[in-house]
Amino acid sequence: MKLQSFADYTFVDGGVCAAAGFKANGVCCGLRHQELSSVTEQAQAANEPDDKPKKNDLAMIVSDCDCAAAAVYTSNQFKGAPILVTKKHLADGRARAVIVNSVNANTCNADGVEKAEAMCRLAADALHIPAEDVVVASTGVIGQVLPIEPIAAAVPALAEGLSYEGNEEAVHAIMTTDTREKEVAVSFRIGKTTCTLGGMLKGSGMIHPNMATTLTFLTTDCAISPAMLQQALSDVVRVTLNRVSVDGDQSTNDMVCVMANGMAENKEISDESKDYAVFRGALYTVMLNLARMCAADGEGATKLIECVVSEAASEETAEKLAKSVICSSLFKAAMFGADANWGRIACAMGYADCDFDISKVDVDLASAKGRISVAKDGFGVPFSEEDAKTILLEDEIQVLISLKAGAASAVAWGCDLTYDYVKINGDYRS
């Protein structure tokens, strides 16, 4: 999909390794084999050909020096053990490394915190840094005990293989039902200094607004204080990842973490200055595109849906309406069938928890194939079903809603609801 660009930011390669001083790596430690639930599944795995590609399931990101660090976490009450440990480690606003596994979420386990802390110690020992400087994260099946032995066996090779070009190995390791890599990086100027910010994301299912919706790791060589880094991250999450929904299910392990090592050597950003605005714009550019990638790669999805609500009385109203539309299962199913049933949009707007004048609502549908009006002043208008279908058969769809009540606007992203979503989640554990 095409990246959304902004004038002051230049896209560069490298993901979490794009910024100076960051290495990464990913390896297969064999967690999938450990998680197979039946003797038959284990036997099948044992008989797989030796040359069959084995997916990475353990990743590491490391800075050459100490970093300011910030994070935002899921608001789900069943928080994964890695989140509890990471929150403790980031209490001082500093970090140096990330270790993350897929396959097993390490959530709802009696020994979960013990295992998460063990992962931090393993990484710290291999990197010769304090365990308190390690961020830990996990994603995968909830409620199954995380085997630490394969992780312990793999960490030395994981650390030894760290590379300034290791971003691809790392991003592959955090993927679960994702069908494509999700990584973005940009360069930008702070005064006369060129800085870089990059990130990687995993997320395809259990994606819903109300925090971060995913595991996302961001790195930058920009010098910025922990307090301003946290402020920027919290602000940008609200208007990017918090506006993505795939299926209405909010994960237990959601986390967005950013590390800033200052190796670009700009003057440290410590207040809401012009430099802070530039940095926040870079963070927004990266996270906006990661959010769009997340929505487009929803489990079973064939289309990215972007809902834009404009001319609202407040941003809060616009946001609630946009989210309500992209979360509607009926609307999402209609988009899968390229059916311009705008009544499902009206329905989703109508049960949103906000006030607006339905007699002023206009609705258009748009894509690369054109734009068509389907409602004006709260009522349907005649339109060509054939033209509408042509527009809705594209893989990126826009729902454009005008409330004609003010100057505020908001955008939310989602995807269509397909047969494959049920197939994927019907046998997720296997």
pLDDT in tens, 156-189: 999 999 999 999 999 999 987 777 788 999 999 9
Q: What is the mean pLDDT of residues 20-26?
A: 98
- Any idea which of 38-42, 138-142, 321-325 has the lowest mean pLDDT? 38-42
All structural domains of the chain:
10-296 (3.60.70.12), 304-426 (3.10.20.340)
pLDDT at 38: 37
The confidence band for 424, taking pLDDT boundaries of 50, 70 and 90, is low
**Which of 345, 331, 165, 183 minimizes the C-alpha distance to 248?**
331
pLDDT at 252: 61
- Any idea which of 38-52, 138-152, 194-208, 237-251 has the lowest mean pLDDT? 38-52
The confidence band for 205, taking pLDDT boundaries of 50, 70 and 90, is very low
Question: What percentage of the chain exceeds 70 in pLDDT?
Answer: 87
The confidence band for 97, taking pLDDT boundaries of 50, 70 and 90, is very high
pLDDT by residue (tens digit) across 25-77?
A: 999 999 986 654 433 344 444 444 444 458 999 999 999 999 999 999 977 66
107, 213, 252, 285: the catalytic one is 213
The answer to whether the CB of 261 falls within 8 A of the CB of 67 is yes
The confidence band for 108, taking pLDDT boundaries of 50, 70 and 90, is confident
Burial of 232 (0-12, 13-18, 19+ CB in 10 A): buried
- Whether residue 240 lies in the annotated active site: no
| Sign of the CA dihedral running 402, 207, 14, 122 | positive
Listing from the earlier edge strand, what are the strands of the sheet with 379-380?
379-380, 370-376, 362-367, 396-402, 304-312, 408-415
pLDDT at 404: 98
pLDDT at 188: 98
pLDDT at 243: 85
